[in-house]
């Protein structure tokens, strides 16, 4: 699975795992650099996903600042 296909929660979990490994402190330098680079990619991915959600929320709000009503569609039971 590519980074772009990760959900926000999956990306955050991967980022937390990387931080935990780096905090252990016994990672070889080359591996630490790889972890750091991967962490930066995941951090940007999370930031981009949050910005996307923020833009979506802007569309939900009406011009007068009121939240536009929306309905969850429930599956019809047969």
In the chain, which residues have pLDDT < 70?
Answer: 1-4, 62-78
The pTM of the full predicted model, rounded to 2 decimals, is: 0.67
Count Cα atoms within 13 angstroms, Cβ side, for 54. Answer: 6
What pLDDT score was predicted for residue 57?
Answer: 81
Tell me the C-alpha to C-alpha distance, in Å, between residue 28 and each of 34, 40, 41, 43.
Answer: 10, 18, 20, 22
Listed residue (39, 50, 33, 37) closest to 16, CA to CA: 39
45 within 8 A of 39, measured Cβ to Cβ: no
């Amino acid at each position: 699975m590519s980074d772009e296909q990760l959900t926000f929660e999956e990306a955050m979990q991967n980022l937390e795992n990387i931080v935990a490994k780096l905090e252990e402190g016994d990672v070889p330098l080359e591996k630490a650099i790889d972890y750091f680079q991967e962490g930066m990619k995941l951090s940007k991915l999370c930031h981009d996903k949050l910005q996307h959600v923020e833009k979506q929320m802007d569309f939900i709000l009406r011009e007068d600042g009121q939240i536009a009503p929306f309905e969850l569609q429930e599956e019809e039971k047969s």
